[in-house]
Structure 1
Amino acid sequence: MSDHRDASGPGPSSTVVTGAPNQTLALAAMLFAVSMTFIDQTIVSIAAPSIIDELDLSSSGMQWVVNAYLLTLAAFFALGGRLADIFGHRLIMLIGTLLFVISSVLCGCVPSGDFAQAWLIIFRATQGFGAALMFPAALAVVVAVFPVEHRGRALALFFGLSGAFTAVGPLLGGWLTEWTWRAIFWVNVPVAIVALVLTAMAHIPNVPRHERLDVPGAVLVAAGMGLSVLGLQQASAWGWSSIATWACIVGGLLVLALFCAYELRVEQPLIRLEVFRDRAFTADSVVLFFAMLAFVPVFYFASVYAQVSLSASPTQAALFLLYFFIGFGLASQWGGRILDKRGAKPAMKLGTALGALGFALWANKLTDLSIHDQWPYAALAGAGIGLLLAPASTDAVNRAIGASYGEVTGITQTIRNFSASVGMAVFGTVLIHVTTDRVGDTLQSKGVPTGAANDTARSIAEAVTGHPDGQAPSGSGPVASTMRDAMGAIRMDFAEANQWIFYGMAIALGVAFLCSVLHPGTRVTGTPEQESAAATR
């Protein structure tokens, strides 16, 4: 381990933040702030049927409502981390929180009519931008307040309790949706107020750094991510043979490559890519990428599966997801202890292995159409993610170059949220295609002509991925009558299509396990003397 890593300490602001701030209040304030971002990753999935029915959204439109948030969060996370370093962590955290909560209120005030879908997507995007400002600044505050030898446990608590708030999302969403789905956005208001009050009480100082902001780099990374995810998201509508699909995907990847080349030449880049020369940091980042292909998308797909194939209500679907979060919350604390005692590698290896096993067993049980038969495997999958998430994130942040924690947090969270956007887009496309094929086969087996069966199957695939009540379409005629008679078989078709998704998540965790093996196993440690020297530098 090089000297600058071992002596990284709490960063440039440590000479100010380690004395005056109240660590407990600072941690609580940042936790309440970021909990809103976690809650909004899950709460919308539960309310999706009600939103679609009231606003008459399309299935792809609803997926964009979910993905607009994730994509803006990913595209601007590095910018948020850099702004936090330049203008001060506390200031950017406060600005991000205010933007997030104002956008939440506007999402809940969406008017009915033709402009509803655009309104909701726009303000979900600004919500994601607020989160991109808030999250890296909040995490940087926690990193700066706690010394390196206690940081693993503090961040395990940070991510573990954030995960618990994520579990509250589906439960709260199911309950609020019974009143009005608009309340799922308004609930962020009291949470934001608590975060702002605790921030003021914690007396967290604001320490800016006089550096230049890399605007061209921010534009390139946002454009590259946006184009690539657009192509993946729209592949179900445009088709994989479409020139537009591949133009977006390849074009986005080329822009990201251009971004990397530009960052290596600019004097004060948005992201200092030399941090990837650290083999451990690279391993942490790749593990996070493959793990997040499963972690956020599982909320949406498990919720839709429960409401379609299991005919569950929104509240029952939320309870179904709760099994996953119980495993996640318990294991995240264990992962933090392993990190503090033995380093990140053992926690990542065990977590990725358990996660891969859990998702594979869960996928195998989806066609049993029983919540009670699936809960042990959902909990096992959640435990695997919980074990690896905090250790991989904390180990990566501890390896910051020059202790630029806001910047490195921006890198790791950009990777995580870009991965979540890719997972949503790819798995959503796969689900629609496989559902269409299986439902088409089912209808043909019941005597529906091939052309009519394929057209109807496509309509049903769009409907069930957007309307998780799983109700048969109304209407008259032989095709409509056959569809109503076949709804039991169609629910099984949808369960079988979801098996592809969950096996895909298991494969992603399996690849993450192979990447965790490449971690050198070195640990970031620091003495008070080393931290003091780093702070002086």
Structure 2
Amino acid sequence: MAVPAGPGARSKRLVLAAMIFAVAMTFIDQTIVSIAVPQIQRELGLSSTGVQWAVNAYLLALAALFAFGGRLADTVGHRKMVLIGVIVFAGASALCGLTPKGAAAEAWIVAFRALQGAGGAIMFPAALAIVVQTYPLRERGRALALFFGIAGGLTAVGPILGGYLTQWTWRAIFWVNIPIALIALVLIVVSKPVTEHRPAPMDYRGLALIASGVGLSVFGFQQALLWGWSNPGIGMCIGAGILLLVVFCFVERGTPSPLIQVSIFRVRPFLVENVVLFVTMLVFVPVFFFASEYAQIALGKTASQAGLYLLYFFLGFVVAAQIGGRMLDRGGAKRPVVLGCVLSAVGFFMWAGQVTKLEFSSQQWYVVLAGAGMGFMLGPASTDAINRASRLSYGEATGITQTVRNYAASLGLAILGTIQVAQFRSRLTTSLVAQGMPHAQAAALAGNASQSQSGGGGSLASIPAFVRLDFAYATRTVLFAMAGIMAVGAIVAMLGLTRGLQAEPAEAGADGAEAPVGGDESAQH
């Protein structure tokens, strides 16, 4: 069902543009800061732990508060929360750029990076809910393909933009958000998006449980590479986080106005799409990190050149996202989701087979294919999941899907990163022993190198050829694992989703609970 105001085509495009500019900042900031980390650490005198938290605080706050942001959007108002989120995000960005030198620097930048994440968590579910409510069901595939295609592509722009801005000052990587925010605010005021919301009390008990659960477990995943999986603190953090999430699910079932209507998971397509998103997000965000490292260490590229390497992935992603969106509108989600997972699995598998040649020209079309597969499935899977909610719960559904996606990305980075480090350490130890180094010394040196993994700065001479090749073999193992993960996603989608177009979902009942949702028009069971 369309929004009652019945916006025209031009008005809808203006709303879409406003929401894309609003969320653009959150996507850029997922990757732009990592490029400037060495310069930030050097100028501010941050500890290694402090600089890691300058990156992680943003992602942790984003993951922990998505469900809260979605619920706020549905109960307080979507446009209001987008405006607040944009202002908070831009303000926190400005303050990050104004980080003073001295003893206060570390606490300052970590705190305002976390505030950035909170602003993004408030903004993103509301922005996506506005797009969903603005476009009728049969037009959402194309609209959200554009939304996810452009916004997702900005993740790849981050390293390139960051590389150029840091040549002036690292502070500019935060200040660049301010003009983007001003454009977003102007577009929101001009477009005046009209959506419906349902005032309701906030479930602060549920908020405390899910924020703590997601925060603790994501923190454990983030620290696994630094502390090692054998550290008891990792298991305690992850275990306690998962336990809190289980408690959260039980508590929500008995809460009159819950943060999340857990009964929505009884809707089979919503559950399946979230499982697909969880599986595929083990790959989607981590691939940027591993491909960038490979480009810098194995291929000897600069940070900016590594960003260009990632653009090939998004060349396939953006084009396929538009096709996938149209396929969703014409025939439902199953075909583009299954096709995308299969293409991506093939792309990653073929890409893995070429990385040890240390020539990008032999890899580029497989990189494009892997990105295209992701483009086909990501938008339709996310859109189909959100479509299953009632019109008054789109923000909540978005909060759920984004929490699932960020949670999986953290897990994927931890697991795949552990695989890469172990493979690189093993191969490098063997290579150093072959060079005549005693095994104990070789193992120690390889262990240090596998944990630091600093980029080559564009100079092939700065990294021995055997080190580059060993790192390429470690990356190959990761890419093979990614191919297997995407194959699992294809199987889940093939077995779990049904063919056919989706009907408009039922509205929420009088008690606020979701009414049974109509699934596909053709077959639901």
For structure 1, the residue ranges without an aligned partner over 5 or more in a row are 1-8, 473-483
In the TM superposition, residue 456 of structure 1 has moved relative to its aligned partner by: 2.1
Q: How does 1:29-178 map to 2 (within 5 A)?
A: 29-55=18-44, 62-113=51-102, 116-178=105-167
- Take 1:429 and 1:117, find their aligned partners in 2: how far apart are those partners? 27
Aligned to 2:444: 455
In the alignment, is the contact (CA less than 8 A) between 1:21 and 1:203 conserved in 2? no
- Name the TM-score, length of structure 1 as normaliser: 0.88
Q: Distance in 2 between matches of 1:50 and 1:491?
A: 24
| Matched positions, count | 509
Deviation per CA, 1:250-307: give whole Å up to 9, x if none: 2211111111111111111111111111111111111111111111111122112111
**Shift of residue 403, structure 1, vs aligned partner:** 4.0
Distance 2:408 2:181 in 1: 27
Establish whether residue 288 from structure 1 lines up as the match of residue 277 from structure 2: yes
Q: If the length of structure 2 is used for normalisation, what is the TM-score? A: 0.90
Secondary structure at 2:99's aligned position in 1? coil
Deviations 1:113-133 (A, max 9, x none): 565444433322221111100
More deviation in 453-462 or 149-158? 453-462
Tell me, yes or no, if the aligned pair for 2:74 and 2:199 is still in contact at 8 Å: no
Q: Which residue of 1 aligns with 2:331?
A: 342
Q: Deviations over 1:438-473 (max 9, x none)?
A: 323322322333333233222222322x5553889x
Q: Assess, with a 3 A threshold, how the Cα gap between structure 1 residues 435 and 116 changes in structure 2: closer, same or farther.
A: farther
Residue aligning to 2:470:
493
Task: Tell me if the contact between 1:232 and 1:249 (Cα under 8 Å) persists in the aligned partners.
Answer: yes
Aligned counterpart, 2:489: 512
What code does the residue aligned with 1:376 have?
W
* CA shift for structure 1 position 352: 0.4
The code of the aligned residue for 2:502 comes to V
Amino acid across the alignment from 2:498? P
- The residue type equivalent to 2:211 in the other structure is A
- 2:178 is equivalent to residue 189 of structure 1: yes
Q: Specify the code of the residue in structure 2 equivalent to 1:302.
A: A
How far apart are 1:136 and its partner, in Å? 0.5
Q: Deviations over 1:352-386 (max 9, x none)?
A: 00111111211222211112221111111110111
CA contact (8 A) 2:355 2:363 kept: yes
CA distance in 2, matches of 1:428, 1:325: 22
Is the Cα contact below 8 Å between 1:46 and 1:318 reproduced in 2?
no
Secondary structure at 1:41 match in 2 = coil
The answer to which structure has the higher helix fraction is: 1
How far has the Cα of 1:55 moved from its partner? 4.6
Q: In the superposition, relative to structure 1, how do residues 66 and 213 fare at CA in structure 2: closer, same or farther (>3 Å)?
A: same
Kept in 1, the 8 Å contact 2:203–2:257? The answer is: yes
Deviates more, 1:76-85 or 1:111-120: 111-120
Report if the CA contact (8 A) 1:308-1:468 is conserved: yes
* Structure 1 counterpart SS, 2:193: coil
Deviation at 1:149, TM superposition (A): 1.8
116-125 or 411-420, which moves further after superposition? 116-125
Aligned-partner Cα distance in 1 for 2:180–2:309: 25
- Do 1:357 and 1:381's aligned partners in 2 also have CA atoms closer than 8 Å? yes
C-alpha change, 1:433 and 1:120, in structure 2 (3 Å) is farther
For the residues of structure 1 that align with 2:430 and 2:318, how far apart are their CA atoms? 41
Corresponding residue SS for 1:521? coil
Separation (CA, whole Å) in 1 of partners of 2:56 and 2:336 = 30
Relative to structure 1, is the Cα distance of residues 117 and 512 closer, same or farther in structure 2, using a 3 angstrom cutoff?
A: farther
Q: CA deviation at 1:200?
A: 0.3
- 2:349 alignment partner in structure 1: 360
Q: Are positions 1:298 and 2:298 aligned together?
A: no
CA contact (8 A) 1:45 1:303 kept: no
Q: Secondary structure at the match of 1:412?
A: helix
The answer to which structure, 1 or 2, has the higher relative contact order (CA under 8 A, 6+ apart) is 1
Deviation at 1:521, TM superposition (A): 2.5
Q: Which is worse superposed, 434-443 or 89-98? A: 434-443
Structure 1 residues 440, 113: CA separation in 2 closer, same or farther (over 3 Å shift)? Answer: farther
Q: Residue 228 of structure 1: which of 208, 212, 217 is its match?
A: 217
Compared CA separation, residues 39 and 138, structure 1 to 2 (3 A): same
**Counterparts of 1:497 and 1:470, CA distance in 2:** 20
Q: Deviations over 1:465-497 (max 9, x none)?
A: x5553889xxxxxxxxxxx99722112222222
Change (3 A) 1:433 1:253: same
Structure 2 CA distance for partners of 1:122 and 1:470, relative to 1, 3 Å: farther
Match of 1:381 in 2: 370
Change (3 A) 1:249 1:407: same
Q: From the superposition, tell whether residues 500 and 115 of structure 1 become closer, same or farther in structure 2 (CA, over 3 Å).
A: farther
SS in 1 for 2:124: helix
Instruction: Please list the CA deviations of residues 218-243 of structure 1 after superposition, one character each: whole Å capped at 9, or x if unmatched.
Output: 11111111222222222233332332
Q: Which residue of 2 aligns with 1:469?
A: 457
Q: Which residue of 1 aligns with 2:520?
A: none
Instruction: Give the whole-Å Cα distance in 2 for the aligned partners of 1:458 and 1:127.
Output: 34
Structure 1 counterpart of 2:428: 439
The share of aligned pairs that are identical, in percent, is: 50
Match among 268, 280, 283 for residue 257 of structure 2: 268
Query: 1:181-227 CA deviation, whole Å, 9 max, x = no partner?
Result: 32222111111100000000012247552201111111111111122
Q: 1:475 maps to which residue?
A: none
Query: Is the Cα–Cα contact under 8 Å of residues 331 and 500 in structure 2 kept in the other structure?
Result: no
Q: Following TM superposition, by how much is the alpha carbon of 1:342 offset from its aligned partner in structure 2, in angstroms?
A: 0.8
Please identify, of 368-377 and 77-86, the stretch whose mean Cα deviation from structure 2 is larger. 368-377
Aligned residue for 1:393? 382
Q: Which deviations, in whole Å up to 9, do the C-alpha atoms of 1:67-116 show, x marking residues without a partner?
A: 33222212111100100111100111111111111122222233445654
How many Å apart are 1:346 and its aligned residue?
0.2
- 1:405 and 2:394 equivalent? yes
* Structure 2, gaps ≥5 residues long: 516-525
Q: Contact between 2:197 and 2:392, CA under 8 Å: does it hold in 1?
A: no
Greater CA drift, 396-405 or 258-267:
396-405
**Alignment correspondent of 2:419:** 430
Q: Compared with structure 1, are the counterparts of its residues 96 and 504 closer, same or farther at alpha carbon in structure 2 (3 Å cutoff)?
A: same
Superposed, 1:297-336 pairs within 5 Å as 297-336=286-325
